[in-house]
């Protein structure tokens, strides 16, 4: 359980509690995310897994009434410390949402470049290179190379989601947060994203929230099971799915509830 002995630690939560208007939605979660691994967070709807994910890049505090207790350490720095700028933090931690969120008035190119432009990168040749690399890593380049300057809305749902992944990874963040990235995609689109997870973990540390157990089993190295706002169990994915230690985990992965 936990990181392998020689994996470099990147992200860690320490007794993290997330609240909405004082009501805890996530309680007391301590979890490690080793570098260059994929960690899946599973659990039934409303178990707090998305809220937990949004605490990792300080998006939770943007929700009405959202506050946090405990710590989130990025390379041993508490990201909730007073002197941490959440804007800078989010530039180091990319995020992709449940539904594709391309900017509808922008071209494919400008969508990917948007993430770079807010990071202060303006030069045309620099943008060209970075956009091509990001689209390449998101396995979208071959499909859009001839129409980079057409509207992002002309892409299919699956392509739009890969475009959002390209936008998130274009500034080369260290960590990628995926919030049910395949929830609105068909099986083919889902498969492409899952293949991407494997490829992307060479460059990024990935945390993926999913309510699809097969997906968690296919893409992740570690899996954490959340239930009613608490983390019930965490372990290597293979072990958690074959030999769960906690009764509730077993009940959930064998389909007895959720």
Partner 1 sequence: MSSPEPRWTLRGPNTGDRAYRVVLTGLALVLPLLILVLFAQLVVSALPAIAKFGPSFLWTSTWDPVAEVYGAAPMIFGTLASSFLALLIAIPLAVGVAIFLTEFAPRWLRQPVAFLVELLAAIPSVVYGLWGIFVLIPFLRAHVVPPLKAVLGWTPFFQGAFYGNSLLAGGIILAIMVVPYIAAVSREVLLAVPSSQREAALAMGATRWEAVRSAVLPYGRAGIIGAIILGLGRSLGETMAVTMVIGNRHDIGLSALQPAYTMAAAIANEFTEATTDMYLSALFEVGLILFIITVAVNALARLLIWRVARGAAVGSRAL
244 lies in the binding site for partner 1 (CB under 8 A): no
List, as one string, the DSSP characters of 53-77.
HHHTTT-GGGSTTEEEEEEEEETTE
Rounded to the nearest whole angstrom, what is the least distance from the CB of residue 105 to partner 1 in the complex?
4
| Helix (H), strand (E) at residue 205 | strand 205-209
121 lies in the binding site for partner 1 (CB under 8 A): no
Point out which span in 6-14, 125-133, 163-171, 180-188 binds partner 1 (CB under 8 A). 163-171
User: Residue 10 or residue 218: which is nearer to partner 1 going by CB?
Assistant: 10
Give the total of residues touching partner 1 (CB under 8 A): 26
Point out which span in 1-9, 19-27, 56-64, 122-130 binds partner 1 (CB under 8 A). 56-64
User: Residue 38 or residue 96: which is nearer to partner 1 going by CB?
Assistant: 96
119 lies in the binding site for partner 1 (CB under 8 A): yes
Point out which span in 41-49, 140-148, 164-172, 239-247 binds partner 1 (CB under 8 A). 164-172
Rounded to the nearest whole angstrom, what is the least distance from the CB of residue 213 to partner 1 in the complex?
26
Residues 126, 49: Cα–Cα separation, whole Å: 37
Cα dist from 198 to 29, 49, 130, 203, whole Å? 26, 21, 21, 10
Residue list 61-90, contact with partner 1 (CB under 8 A) = 62, 64, 87-88, 90
Q: Give the CA count within 13 Å in the CB-facing half-sphere of 47.
A: 22
Cα dist from 251 to 39, 143, 234, 242, whole Å? 21, 42, 15, 12
91 lies in the binding site for partner 1 (CB under 8 A): yes
Asked whether 144 and 108 are in contact (CB, 8 A), the reply is: yes
99 lies in the binding site for partner 1 (CB under 8 A): yes
Residue list 192-221, contact with partner 1 (CB under 8 A) = none
Which of 101, 184, 191, 212 forms a contact with partner 1 (CB under 8 A)? 101
14 lies in the binding site for partner 1 (CB under 8 A): no
133 lies in the binding site for partner 1 (CB under 8 A): no
Question: Helix, strand or coil for residue 151?
Answer: strand
β-pairing, 222-227 with 38-42? parallel
117 lies in the binding site for partner 1 (CB under 8 A): yes
Secondary structure letter of residue 18 according to DSSP: E
164 lies in the binding site for partner 1 (CB under 8 A): yes
104 lies in the binding site for partner 1 (CB under 8 A): yes
Secondary structure letter of residue 3 according to DSSP: S
Nearest alpha carbon to residue 219 among 233, 208, 230, 232: 208
Nearest alpha carbon to residue 246 among 168, 255, 238, 235: 235
Q: Which positions lie near partner 1, rule CB under 8 A?
A: 57, 59, 62, 64, 87-88, 90-91, 94-95, 97, 99, 101, 103-106, 114-115, 117-119, 164, 167-168, 171
């Amino acid at each position: 359980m936990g990181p392998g002995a020689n994996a470099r630690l990147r992200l860690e939560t320490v007794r993290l509690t997330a609240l909405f208007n004082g009501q805890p939605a996530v309680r007391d979660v301590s979890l490690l995310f080793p570098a260059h691994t994929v960690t899946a967070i599973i659990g039934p709807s409303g178990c707090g897994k998305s809220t937990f994910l949004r605490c990792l890049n300080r998006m939770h505090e943007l929700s009405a009434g959202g506050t946090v207790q405990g710590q989130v350490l990025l390379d041993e720095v508490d990201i909730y410390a007073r002197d941490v700028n959440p804007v800078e933090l989010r530039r180091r931690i990319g995020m992709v949402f449940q539904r594709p969120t391309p900017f509808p008035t922008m071209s494919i190119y400008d969508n990917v470049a948007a993430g770079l432009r807010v990071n202060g990168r303006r030069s045309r040749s620099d943008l060209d290179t970075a956009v091509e690399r990001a689209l390449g890593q998101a396995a979208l380049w071959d499909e859009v190379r001839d129409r980079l300057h057409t509207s992002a809305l002309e892409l299919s749902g699956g392509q739009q989601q890969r475009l959002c992944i390209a936008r998130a990874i274009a500034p080369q963040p260290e960590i990628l947060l995926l919030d049910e990235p395949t929830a609105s995609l068909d099986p083919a689109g889902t498969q492409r994203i899952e293949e991407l997870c494997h490829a992307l973990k060479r460059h990024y540390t990935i945390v993926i929230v999913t309510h699809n157990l097969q997906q968690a089993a296919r893409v992740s190295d570690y899996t954490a099971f959340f239930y009613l706002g608490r983390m019930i169990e965490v372990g290597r994915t293979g072990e958690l799915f074959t030999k769960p230690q906690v009764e509730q985990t077993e009940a959930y992965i064998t389909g007895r509830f959720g």
